[in-house]
Structure 1
Amino acid sequence: MAATDVSMAGTAAPKRGLFGSLFFQVVAALVLGILIGVLAPETAQSLKFFSDAFLRLIAMVVAPIVFCVVVHGIASAGDLRKVGRVGVKSLVYFEGMTTIALAFGLVLALVFGPGHGMDIDVAKLDAKQLASFADNAHKLQGGGFGGFILNIIPPTAFDAFARNDVLQVLFFAVIFGVSLALVGEPGKPVVDLIESIAKVLFKAMGLIVRVAPLGVLGAIGFTVGKY
């Protein structure tokens, strides 16, 4: 027993100090971004590359992770009735928490008025970005319930992944997972493969999250330096 304890102690992961903490690194990057934005605005604006790169890295793995997790969860459950009950509860929870989050955000916006007092020249804002926001808002207004359902169904599975449309990927994942569950034993190798891919993707996400301080540095530095 003593030898086993010594062996386990020898293989234990070393404890990280304060500087090795991701939270500390993010806070330090936040403070550093503010300082650079105040002292060297031009340099700070050039750091936006880091935030854009970090967001792209996150978006790169989100859709595949959603697909693998949903497919594996449904295919491994076995009882599709249980999956249906869990799905309904998850949908109710998701909609409820989303509504609460939206209400909370509106209250905070009304109370604190973020953006007031910022040094922004409206004439110098990017008209293309404003047009994209207006176009997205226009899409939300038309089509009705039928249009909403059609927008969930991807033209092809590859198109949903190519455009990184998580809702369409989720829809395809549900169909694929249910089909695997119905196939049964012949589909088990596919389920095992998807589980292995999910583990690799989560490891990749862990690596990407480690560069979050650079993303924070770029975003805060650009915001403070420009505005």
Structure 2
Amino acid sequence: MTSATIAAARRAPLYKSLFAQVVAGLVLGIALGVLAPEFAVGLKFFSDAFLKLISMIVAPIVFCVVVHGIAGAGDLKKVGRVGGKALIYFEVMTTVALAVGLILAYVIRPGVGMNINTASLDANALSAYAENAHKLQGGGFGAFILNIIPSTSFDAFARNDVLEVLFFAIVFGVSLALVGEPAKQVAELVDATSKVLFRAMGLIVRLAPLGVLGAVAYTVGKYGV
């Protein structure tokens, strides 16, 4: 059955491949941006909608995966060891990503030649990043920890603050593991919910070609090829 599945996948037409569809969306976006820039700018709706759909599903998935992982492990000592390794891995890879980003920024210099009039840009576009930067200043480590703890669990989900959702998920998962057998049905519900959410994510990802089309068409139509 495995061989038959692989063979069927190999026989699938190219146009059904998500990668091929994304590439087609990229090429079409460039073409529309060059040939019909005013129309292409209006396609930004597709990229905005796609990003909102992804943002909509991320926080619930993070919650369910973390809770199920901690509750399913059972032994909290094992969870602590795995969590420590994950934290070290995260810190190392984040440092590598920052270094690569800085090197590419200085070597490739993305954005040079786009001739953007900075006076026409939205001054509020970076407000969220500026707000997060201010959280790291003045209050020290204590203020940073307080900003991770949500006012309420519903507030963290409503504002789509993944860090706060992650903190609540850790607390909830540890509590499930400590309760044990009486909370088994809750753990099973979380697991089933995560499967549904991943299925929903699969459906959203199928719209990636439209998201790429809208983003590239808007960028080329507004700022040039």
In the alignment, the residues of structure 2 paired with residue 129 and residue 20 of structure 1 have an alpha-carbon distance, to the nearest angstrom, of: 36
Deviations for 1:79-114, whole angstroms, at most 9, x for unmatched residues?
A: 100000000000000011011001000000000111
Residue 68 of structure 2 corresponds to which residue in structure 1? 72
- Tell me whether 1:145 sits opposite 2:145 in the alignment: no
Residue 105 of structure 1 corresponds to which residue in structure 2? 101
Match of 2:19 among 23, 29, 47: 23
Unaligned 5+ segments in structure 2 are: none
TM-score by length of 1: 0.92
Match of 1:91 among 87, 93, 103: 87
- Tell me whether 1:204 sits opposite 2:200 in the alignment: yes
More displaced stretch, 52-61 vs 132-141? 132-141
Partner of 1:128: helix, strand, or coil? coil
Match of 1:57 among 28, 53, 56: 53
In the alignment, the residues of structure 2 paired with residue 161 and residue 221 of structure 1 have an alpha-carbon distance, to the nearest angstrom, of: 32
Instruction: Decide whether the 8 Å contact of 2:26 with 2:212 is kept in 1.
Output: yes
Residue 190 of structure 2 corresponds to which residue in structure 1? 194
Instruction: Decide whether the 8 Å contact of 2:71 with 2:173 is kept in 1.
Output: yes
In the alignment, the residues of structure 2 paired with residue 126 and residue 139 of structure 1 have an alpha-carbon distance, to the nearest angstrom, of: 22
Q: Compared with structure 1, are the counterparts of its residues 136 and 169 closer, same or farther at alpha carbon in structure 2 (3 Å cutoff)?
A: closer
In the alignment, the residues of structure 2 paired with residue 131 and residue 153 of structure 1 have an alpha-carbon distance, to the nearest angstrom, of: 21
Q: Which amino acid aligns with 2:201?
A: M
In the alignment, the residues of structure 1 paired with residue 31 and residue 125 of structure 2 have an alpha-carbon distance, to the nearest angstrom, of: 28
Residue 120 of structure 2 corresponds to which residue in structure 1? 124
**Identity over aligned pairs, percent:** 72
In the alignment, the residues of structure 2 paired with residue 224 and residue 64 of structure 1 have an alpha-carbon distance, to the nearest angstrom, of: 34
Count residues in correspondence.
Answer: 220
CA RMSD after TM alignment: 1.8
- Tell me whether 1:183 sits opposite 2:193 in the alignment: no
Deviation at 1:58, TM superposition (A): 0.4
TM-score by length of 2: 0.93
Deviation at 1:143, TM superposition (A): 1.7
Q: Which amino acid aligns with 1:188?
A: K
In the alignment, the residues of structure 1 paired with residue 36 and residue 129 of structure 2 have an alpha-carbon distance, to the nearest angstrom, of: 30
In the alignment, the residues of structure 1 paired with residue 177 and residue 126 of structure 2 have an alpha-carbon distance, to the nearest angstrom, of: 45
Q: Any residues of structure 2 matched to 1:31-46 within 5 Å, and which? A: 31-46=27-42
In the alignment, the residues of structure 1 paired with residue 53 and residue 98 of structure 2 have an alpha-carbon distance, to the nearest angstrom, of: 26
